[in-house]
Structure 1
Amino acid sequence: MSDIRHPYLDSPAPIAFAHRGGTADGLENTAWAFRRAVDLGYRYLETDVHLTSDGVLVAFHDASLDRVTDAGGRIADLPWSEVGRARVAGREPVPLFEELLEEFPEARWNVDTKSDAAVEPLVEAVRRAGAWDRVCVGSFSEARLVRARALGGSRLASSLGTRGVADLRLLSRGGRAAERLLLAAARRRGAVCVQVPERAYGIRVVDPAFIAAAHRLGMQVHVWTINDEARMHALLDLGVDGIMTDRLEALRTVFTERGVWA
């Protein structure tokens, strides 16, 4: 195994991630949801970030407010004064990402940057909070990850991008010479983990060869979003290093049954 390491991953594996803080009562990505997750014993919290029209970084999944709040409109088109009045499930405010870093100083955050505009404010928020050890940045956009790593350098933990994931799956079948090439690419990218669904476009992503290749390159494998207890057990049996779930009690039960709940 290589020496690609980061303090973000200082917890014994496997890691339980509270995806969007859990989806209880429809209150995803709210301070209430994250408090509940922490109270249940979760140390790793997953969220997403967008930037308002006047440059405020908010923790929110969708590009618009329509699905989960009592307001509407695209976040990128709205000032914070309007986004701040919206209520998730008609009840909880949309949180500022920096406020979450402050309220949960012991938590580790897995952050999906959902827009190009959010990348620099996200890295700047991590810098201001001195939270380099507590944040891992991910994105479906390779360009956003490249930009985040350029801004944060080796201090910033990140997951492997979509191109790197495709390379890893392909090269996991290709022997040690291919792995050496991937290791060099992984070092350039600065990834400390790979975060993937079980399947994508009908193709199985997570299998023993994929996990073994990631481990030989020093990267953990985290799988999202798993809400079925049988699948949780199956993935842990395969040797994955982390599971993201909306069903917090279910994952905690599975980890407890296996003696790995930290």
Structure 2
Amino acid sequence: MTHPWFEGSATPRVLAHRGLVTPDAASHGIAENSFAAVAAAHAAGAVYVESDCHLTSDGTVILFHDDDLSRVTGDPRRIADVTERELFDLMATRGGLITLAQALDAFPTTRFNLDVKAANAAEPVGRIVAGHGERVLLTSFSDERRRIALDAAQRAGRGIRPATSAGTATIARLLSAVALRSRRLAARTLQSVDALQIPERHGSLRVLSRRLVDAAHENGVEVHVWTVDDPDDMRRLVALGVDGIVTDRADVAIATLR
């Protein structure tokens, strides 16, 4: 059965990576994963927004990619050591802080692809998304962290479980199954996930292949590739059978693929 996160939206899917920050918005100081970035993705017509979850020192789940503030704000402190109010002030001129709860409330038609970046955020993320499972996909590089968040959402028992995509260990097992041409191992590896979200390459290792796409599709699993900003690359990947493009330029992707 297809999870509601995928229903009613055509492929190829465009996933707005950390929202949308155009060059013009960036020149005005707008940051990724800000309220303004999510709003811009929504305004551009993106159905899906990919974002990242961290936990503040006072227990608020926020949308933010890095472990610390240095790249985005110039402040060297870690997210885990800063309060929500302090982050609110720091992000005020950068598009505005957005918490996970605010994102779900302010953008009720947006479907979120949430990467749990911090171990201490996994349980709170699961609890917050529990009532929104039909429009949330939970993921993490850590399969353990991903499962903790999913379990927390299911324990809250307020609706449909979120969709989920494979962590690094699961992807590694699938690559082995594809290399061995083992349909049984591939099926067993993919039985608990709804999507594979992968780069085309990881260093010298080619991750994406036609055989991997075929193995995923044979088991009812979609393949989304990150992070793709060039229109020619978008077209090439879709021609290979990829179901979704994770991109910093959702506006460009929508114009290219629609």
With structure 2 as the length reference, what TM-score do the two structures score? Answer: 0.90
> How far did residue 13 of structure 1 move?
1.4
What is the aligned residue count? 246
Distance 1:40 1:92 in 2: 16
1:163-188 superposed Cα distances (whole Å, 9 cap, x missing partner): 1111212212333xx3223323332x
Structure 1 segments (4+ residues) deviating >3 Å: none
> How far did residue 76 of structure 1 move?
0.4
1:53 corresponds in structure 2 to 57
- Indicate conservation of the 8 Å contact 1:31/1:95, yes or no: yes
Residue 167 in 1 paired to residue 168 in 2? no
Distance 2:231 2:189 in 1: 35
Distance 1:223 1:199 in 2: 10
> Which of the residues 116, 119, 126 maps onto 1:116?
119
- Indicate conservation of the 8 Å contact 2:224/2:243, yes or no: yes
> Which of the residues 233, 236, 239 maps onto 2:235?
233
1:53-82 superposed Cα distances (whole Å, 9 cap, x missing partner): 111110011111121126441110112221
1:4-19 to structure 2, matched below 5 A, reads 5-10=2-7, 11-19=9-17
- Indicate conservation of the 8 Å contact 2:128/2:153, yes or no: no
Alpha carbon RMSD of aligned pairs, Å? 1.6
> How far did residue 253 of structure 1 move?
2.1
Letter in 2 for 1:160: A
2:222 corresponds in structure 1 to 220
- Indicate conservation of the 8 Å contact 1:221/1:242, yes or no: yes
2:100 corresponds in structure 1 to 97
> How far did residue 249 of structure 1 move?
2.5
Letter in 2 for 1:165: I
- Indicate conservation of the 8 Å contact 2:174/2:189, yes or no: no
**Percent of matched pairs sharing the same residue:** 37
- Indicate conservation of the 8 Å contact 1:71/1:87, yes or no: no
Unaligned runs of 5+ in 1: 256-260
Distance 1:113 1:69 in 2: 21
Further displaced range: 26-35 or 115-124: 26-35
- Indicate conservation of the 8 Å contact 2:53/2:121, yes or no: yes
Unaligned runs of 5+ in 2: 155-159
1:1-262 to structure 2, matched below 5 A, reads 3=1, 5-10=2-7, 11-24=9-22, 25=26, 26-69=30-73, 71-87=75-91, 90-127=93-130, 130-153=131-154, 155-175=161-181, 178-187=182-191, 190-255=192-257, 261=258
Letter in 1 for 2:62: V
Distance 1:82 1:247 in 2: 29
- Indicate conservation of the 8 Å contact 1:50/1:59, yes or no: yes
Further displaced range: 214-223 or 148-157: 148-157
Distance 1:93 1:152 in 2: 27
Distance 2:79 2:85 in 1: 11
